Amino acid sequence: MAGYQLKLKRKQQVAEGTLALYFDKPDDFSFKAGQCVRLGLIDPPETDDEGNARILSLASTPAEPELMVATRIRSSAFKRVLSTLMPGAELTLKGPYGDFTLPAGPARELVFITGGIGITPVRSMLLQAIVENQGRQMTLFYANRRPEDAAFLDELTQACGADPHCTLVATMSQAEQSAQHWQGERGYVDRAMLGRYLTDVTRPVYYLDGPPGLVAAMKSMLVDAGVAEDQLRTEEFAGY
């Protein structure tokens, strides 16, 4: 697997506690939407038992000129150092890895169910499918506590609003604690919510990612609803 050395171009807060980092894409680097990379710090001022590198999903699409990752800023040494990096800082990258990617077959309906930072590979896949104009019907169920916690929410709302094949269903479990006036769905993604937006729950291919508890709950719900397990693609995001 090829290795690269990158320079941080810029960083941006994309939600409360969530940071996006942008890099120039190496000329010979290619990836599929939804894949991940191993991003490493070089001689960091502090480290921990997990080492100086982490696996992060690429939130950017293959069609975009930059590479972008986004991550929750936690209390680990890796995250603390990452959050303090300034433009020009050098990092290492290995990859890409993973098969949590768009299907290559016929244009079957896709449903993404994600929460929190699980939106990163979904942003890549959904926006890439829109760019490629695949004609797939796509529905994204995106769960967060508050709108302030939802990375890329405005961008995805605009993208789906401009594409007749894309539906975004954002839902907030603690909307009453938001400083914003929330007019969308409230509560958790459940079978009733799916039924309000999907003609036949058993037909689509589902992409489930996010915290392990969310992935397990969604998988169980869908299997109980009659969805075949070979229609489920899953990826878990454990905290670190």
Parallel/antiparallel/unpaired status of strands 3-15 and 36-41: unpaired
Determine the angle formed by the axes of helices 119-132 and 153-161, rounding to 10 degrees: 20
Domain 110-236: CATH class, spelled out: alpha beta
**Predicted local confidence at residue 240, as pLDDT:** 44
**Predicted local confidence at residue 1, as pLDDT:** 61
Exposure letters 101-122 (e unless 16+ CB within 10 A, then b): bbeeeeeebbbbbbbbbbbbbb
Low-confidence ranges of the chain (pLDDT < 50): 240
Residue 114 · residue 170 · CB < 8 Å: no
Angle at 170 between CA 132 and CA 164, to 5 degrees: 35
CA distances from 37 to 50, 149, 192 (A): 16, 24, 36
Residue 96 · residue 32 · CB < 8 Å: yes
Q: Would you say the C-alpha torsion 80, 209, 120, 25 has a positive or negative sign? A: positive
Domain 3-97: CATH class, spelled out: mainly beta
Tell whether pTM > 0.75. yes
**Predicted local confidence at residue 237, as pLDDT:** 79
Tokens of 88: 């020009």
Question: For the chain, which residues make up each domain, given as ranges?
Answer: 3-97, 110-236
Tokens of 73: 């800023």
